[in-house]
Structure 1
Amino acid sequence: MPADRSSAPPAARPLVPDALLACGVALAAALADRYGPDYRSTLAPYWDVALAAPLALRRTAPATAAALVAGVCFATWLTDVVAIAAVGAVLIMLYSLGAWERRRWLLAAALVVGESGVIMAVARWTPQGRQWLTALMATGTVTAALVIGLYVRTRRAYLASMIERAETAERDRDHQARIAVAEERTRMAREMHDVIAHSLAVMITLNDAAAATSPEGPVRETVVQASEAGRQALAEMQRILGVLRGAGPADAAPQPGVAQLADLISIARSAGLRVELAVSGEPGDLAPTAQLTIYRIVQESLTNVLKHGRNVRRVVVTLDHREDRVRIRVGNDGEPGAPANAGTVGHGLVGMRERTALYQGEFHAGPTRGGGWEVVADLAVTDPAGAA
């Protein structure tokens, strides 16, 4: 994460420019005291140097520099020496405090001390009749210096925040792009497994059966070669699936099917849901890929209820088998139109819709008329390879 530019320690700021600024203020004030019309004391140039010297610390140690300037100003007041550098040093330090000092009590104290200095200076060195106007102008100038420093600090913090937001947004965009790529790779792996790998397995089985029943000769040798080529293609397919699904090897564990729905529902019940399973019709000889699709749709639907359901008291999972089709419905009695239910329209529903489309099915997810939320998928589960 990039460092907050507004909160970097003051010691990290340049010291040389502040030292040059202090030298410039001291030199200008000393020359003005020496050759200007208001020259009063031979000690004034030395006081100018004493007032300008703390400016070298205005960003590395603003509170210390401000205290030093205030002390020297008070000393000049006690000795009745008018030092030209006093005005510039005070204004620069008030600005620096506003720009770099974060302690509010110290900022308030600096404003009080500055205002007190204005009153003391006006009372001692301003002629009668002009004191109120001079005090008013000096008060406005002192306050403006502090306010400008505060504005600069706020502006700097705002710009740093905008830069950090832009960098965070860029990182998030890259992260989302990587997630989208991973999801697309997973979807491709699923489609290849459902469509191609199963067909290759059927082809190998048929070739093995033909080789077992064929007499010795060229035909049998050709069939055996075709079976071996199919096995090589299937092995290569598994390696490709492993690459698409991630850096690790492909998962060789058996995929869940309709028989594992009872276990899935038991897990949902242990999580606090009241789930009922209703199965109608004869499932027949469903292909493993079709069973996996049914299982995943029910699994994702129950997951959405756990994650987003609101005031759900009952969930009903229905499987209706009709010849070459199966209708899956997962409904709950949660609050209709609840933000949590609305939030289920995400990657989970997209995945269920894609799985349904692979079986030329229809998919629907949304609130029900009687109140609640339902997911409905109607699949054509005829196995093309088996039908052949």
Structure 2
Amino acid sequence: MTRTRSRSTSVREDEALRLPRTPGVLRRFWARHPVFADVLIALVCLLLSLVPAGVITNDLPTPLAIGVAILVPASVVAACATLLWRRRRPLLPFVASFALEAGFLFALQPIGSPLLLVTCYSLAVYRSSRVAWIGFGIGLASLAAFGGLLTLTGVITFQIAANAVIMSLVLGLIGTLIGVNVGGRKRYLDAVIDRSRQLLVERDQQAQLAAAGERARIAREMHDIVSHSLTVIVALSEGAAATSDPDQARAAATASAETARSALTEMRAMLGVLRADDSPLPLAPLAPTPPQETVAHAQRAGYPVTLSVSGGTDLSPAVAHAVGRIVQEGVTNAMRHAPGATSIAVRLIYSADIVTVEIVNDGAAGPRGTSGFGLRGLAERAAHAGGSVVSEPLEGGRWMLRAELPTAPPDPTPTALAAPDPKDRP
């Protein structure tokens, strides 16, 4: 199935590629008006071929002479008319030109037509060099065999046959050599332009993928910041409204304000990546909240959160960022979905190669969640750091969030992200 493109689409692509103009006024004119060029070439070949057709011999037997006198001019017109298809079906005028040369063998003197020059050129340009050489060899051999047959039967002389074959050899060789040169250059330029268009499309696709990845990263960061901070603020505000002790209410309000300021600072840093103008804001998010600070915020809000750390090792910034966000999201989910929990245990286990994060609470209830972005973002974050996240219920009404991450992130090679776990429950 042939694909067609509108001229406007081609122009837009050429403008995007910044292609130079075709040199020469005439070449640009022929390129823009191919039909007119083919008609003009066909008319010129017709005029130059009809003149030799008028010298067909009259010494042949009368029936043969009449038939040849009628068929040769008609063959000239038909052969020249096939030039209108020389770009789409170059083999058709090529065969017609050799058939016309075979008809010219009946002339009293060696004659020829420029049609063979044009068709050999067209076959090399619009098909391939290999097809052009093979076709030229077969056509010339067929013409020589037909001329030899006419010579042996006494219809024409050997000189006429030899001159016709030599003239066809010269014209066809010139047309084929020029066509091979022009066609090879044309195909090379087409390949370069097609490759450039492909690179242009790939560049746009890479830009879209990068933008989508950055949007996903910003969405994860904003979710972690807003979800955790608002959960803590809501808990502190409810505690301040429920207590009658002014000191406790003041302490809860102060902690709520501090949490809000911290969230605003992180949001300002996160929104800095969206600014187009010069700005002193950083182009990357601030360092994530340490697990100790996340646990402290939850404890100030009145939740029974504990933290235990086993071992110790240096983590890369990417892994440290992931650990902080996983603890933040796990504690936030426990605060939201397990308000009656009597224990929310956060455990960090460091080894030489793996850091394990476990968050277990004993207040989970209800079916697993099927929506939400928290655990989905954690799965993407863990996969980016080369680790994995599991969220599942345990015996005794407990729920566990467990993440295992390498202490150093993997090499930045294209890998598929792990499929996010749809369960958005603590």
Q: TM-score normalised to the size of structure 1? A: 0.46
More helix by share: 1
Q: TM-score normalised to the size of structure 2? A: 0.43
